[in-house]
Amino acid sequence: MKVTAMIVNKEVFLRLSEAAIGIVALIIGGLLYIGYRSDCLLMFDWFQNLGLSNVINSFRAETNGQSVYEWVRNSLPAGLWLFSYMFIIDSVWGKEKNHISMFFLYLLPTVAIVSELMQYIKILPGTFDMLDMLSYILAVLLYLLIKKL
């Protein structure tokens, strides 16, 4: 029996959507970092090594005059990075839930939150930032909330 029809698989569509959400979140976070953060971060050394300095500098020049909220510049990219990671990992595993998928899903959020806590108790170098911590927690909560819907 031959049937000519286009059937869209819900699960594949959902997984692709999750991956797309993750990539978009990562791009937004990345652009915020490149455009608004101090150039003493490691990534700017990498861009220089890759010969991308001109492109990056012209992009930074574009964003130079624009003012954005402190938390958008400093904390939102971190939250988007974590949010993006969780969505992309989730798109890899789909409906398959086991201890390995859970391990990968929550590894980076755990490391991020623990490292922020360790900065608070001065075990790690760097400055503890409550907004960073909140953005990590919000990223995880937002992921869980969207997954519940």
Partner 1 sequence: MKTKSIISFLILLLFAILGSGSFTEGELKIFGIMIVVAVIVGIVMGLLNASDDKEAAERLQKNREEELKAKTEAYNNQMQQFLTLNGTPDKTIILEKLDLSSEIHVYEKSKKVFVLGKEYAFKDVISCTFSDSPRIVKGKITAVTKSKNGSVIGRSIVGDVVAGPAGAIIGGVTAKKNTEYIQEDDKTIHDYTVIINMNSISDPIIRIHTGEKGRLTNEIVGLMNVIISRK
Regarding 108 and contact with partner 1 (CB under 8 A), the answer is yes
Q: What is the number of alpha carbons within 13 Å of residue 29 lying toward its C-beta?
A: 20
Q: 78 near 28, Cβ under 8 Å?
A: no
Q: 134 near 142, Cβ under 8 Å?
A: no
CA distances 56 to 30, 46, 65, Å, are 12, 11, 15
* Min dist. Cβ of residue 146 to partner 1 (A): 19
Residues 28-67 that bind partner 1 (CB under 8 A): 30, 33, 37, 40-43, 46
Closer CB to partner 1, residue 117 or residue 145?
117
Closer CB to partner 1, residue 2 or residue 65?
2
Q: List residues binding partner 1 (CB under 8 A).
A: 1-12, 16, 26, 30, 33, 37, 40-43, 46, 77-78, 81, 84-85, 88-89, 92-93, 96, 98-101, 103-104, 107-108, 110-112, 114-115, 124-126
